[in-house]
Structure 1
Amino acid sequence: MGGVRGLLPLLLFFPPALAQGYAWIVVLGAAQYGGRPSPALERRLETALELYAKGLAPGIAVAGGRLPGDRFSEGEVGCRYLLERGVPGEALLCETQSRNTYENLLFLRPRLQGPVLLVTDAPHLPRALFLARLLGLEARGHPVPGPYPPGYWLREALYRLWLYLGLRPSPGGQALRAPPPGGAGPPDTPPRGP
């Protein structure tokens, strides 16, 4: 019951996106460990799967690059996870080069025609929506519930303040990868330099 009460303030700002008609469900990046989604990424992917199963959009876009030394990108791991759970390869868009939320959206933007539904942690969602709108995307959000520590909420509030003051993130390189034919999962390609 406490989890539901914790979501009530969010629902006032981000009502559940129950209507159909989104072009894409967009899962924003979160860590992966050795080719497996972190708990945060897995929660986002499971939420996206539920929304996809309800028919809210014909496809799921997963974003996220890799940290130095990682063999796999967040987007690659997320797409593989969704493929293994029955989402067809043609319904997936896998962005594998971005290093932050701004780049997640920037690198996906050329392929995100129409309204999109962003799926991310509840504390992260307001900033993600701000950035999506800054980039000209028609976006709504779906918060992933969870037991988020106060420090996460505070950090996200500070990031939003930074954006509201007019400071803007700057992108690095840009690349977009789609899963190969046959659903074998996205390619494992080296990251682009800054």
Structure 2
Amino acid sequence: MKKVRWLLMALLLTPALAQPGYDWIVVLGAAQYGGRPSPALERRLEAALHLYQRGLASRVAVAGGKAKGDRYSEGEVGCRYLRQRGLPAKALLCEGQSQNTYENLLFLKPHLSGRILLVTDAPHLPRALFLARLLGLEAEGYPVPGEYPLSYWLREALYRLWLYLGLRPFQSGFSPHGLKSLPPGVLGNPGTPAKGP
């Protein structure tokens, strides 16, 4: 069953990846812990780094706000991670206010143009693409491989059903101040590991 699922994903999404010429690679938010990416966020960031190094796009946007009580946003942690791995500051755009996938895309939308390549977990990608197209973004996707539990696939299927029924995604609010281009040094010395446990 798992091999069939991956074969279908590959058939649907590989043609998009075979063609360079994206304007943006967009990494959708996932948790961070004390300034370090969660395993899910790290997988997404590594995939985006690989795609950037292959020349699929010249800019990378990283989205995601803070959970209650967090010191760092997902976008900030993601940008720092990519800077530490050699991406130039001028190639990065960091969004740090969004609280869900819809807001990730909504808050980035005014700053994106042309073709974008969404990078997220394979179960999450169909919903992310649906939302991107709902917002009028010219989006294609890259499914990050992993061992995803059946519950994740089922939850995402229910979310998609919600959207397909014409019900709107939730939005917690918009703050334009959460978005910034990453000037050199804005997140500290890129060579210094993130602080935290």
**TM-score under structure 1 length normalisation:** 0.90
1:25 is aligned to 2:25: yes
Contact 2:63 2:74 in 1 (8 A): yes
1:8 is aligned to 2:10: no
Between 1:143-152 and 1:176-185, the stretch displaced more is: 176-185
Contact 1:95 1:108 in 2 (8 A): yes
Letter in 2 for 1:43: R
**What's the offset of the Cα at 1:116?**
0.1
Gaps of 5+ in 2: 189-197
Question: How many residues are treated as equivalent by the alignment?
Answer: 185
SS of 1:14's partner is helix
Residue of structure 1 in register with 2:194 after alignment: none
**What's the offset of the Cα at 1:14?**
1.9
**What's the offset of the Cα at 1:98?**
0.1
**What's the offset of the Cα at 1:12?**
2.3
Letter in 1 for 2:164: Y
**What's the offset of the Cα at 1:18?**
2.4
Residue of structure 1 in register with 2:187 after alignment: 185
Contact 2:29 2:104 in 1 (8 A): yes
1-structure distance, mates of 2:152, 2:3: 19
2-structure distance, mates of 1:64, 1:19: 27
Letter in 2 for 1:82: L
2-structure distance, mates of 1:133, 1:153: 21
Gaps of 5+ in 1: 187-194
Moved over 6 A (4+): none
Residue of structure 1 in register with 2:149 after alignment: 149
Aligned-pair identity (%): 68
Residue of structure 1 in register with 2:175 after alignment: 174
**TM-score under structure 2 length normalisation:** 0.89
2-structure distance, mates of 1:127, 1:160: 6
Measured on the aligned residues, the alpha-carbon RMSD in Å equals 1.7
Contact 1:61 1:93 in 2 (8 A): yes
Superimposed CA distance per residue, residues 44-100 of structure 1 (whole angstroms, 9 cap, x where no aligned partner): 000000000000000100000001100000000000000000001110000000000
Change in CA separation of 1:101 and 1:5 when aligned onto 2, cut-off 3 Å = same
2-structure distance, mates of 1:4, 1:86: 34
2-structure distance, mates of 1:84, 1:179: 16
Residue of structure 1 in register with 2:71 after alignment: 71
Between 1:83-92 and 1:10-19, the stretch displaced more is: 10-19
Contact 1:63 1:95 in 2 (8 A): yes
